[in-house]
Structure 1
Amino acid sequence: MRHSGKWMTSVDDRILEFLHEKKPTTPTKMTTKASLPYSRQHVDRRCKKLDEEGLVESLGNGVYMITEDGEAYLEGRLDTETWEYIDREHPPEEDC
């Protein structure tokens, strides 16, 4: 299960998934090859926000790649609301 912050939108997951699968690319390619139902401008704005938050990295010239934090978020190991990593091997103890 992914733990998305309140600042995230539905397209953010799609962007991260596409970058995970296709590696570095541009918002233009994301809108055409991933068939995202959003404008290139909207995807570009979300990529910039994801870059500010550290889930993607801008490589320049409008090219973005997913970061380790972005991968951890996709795997459900990072809560982007609290920015805490979730230890899947040692779940929190329940109150007795």
Structure 2
Amino acid sequence: MSRTCRKKRNKADWLNRDDEAFEKFVKVTKKRVLIKNILQLHDQRNLKMSKKLDQTIQFNQDQTFFVFVGTFPVILEPSIPTLLEKEGYRVERIL
């Protein structure tokens, strides 16, 4: 179903007082917005964390670092390893 058809159908649900169908539409929309916001927060966090790691490493260039991060910062792009590799760092994943 195209986006235009869904919009018309959702408007028709509301106009026809099909509260159950309209409620379902609202829940799905809220879920999509929530997921989008979570992903934006993820991206911002990873950018901030990789920048902080870069600053720490630059300040302590004579040292080797072992960094722990959670699963999402490693697997969801932009990932911290990818961001650090773009800055020229060698990143090694240890399982």
Q: TM-score under structure 1 normalisation? A: 0.30
Tell me which protein shows more helix as a share of its residues: 2
- Give me the TM-score of the superposition, normalised by structure 2: 0.30
- Larger CA Rg, structure 1 vs 2: 2
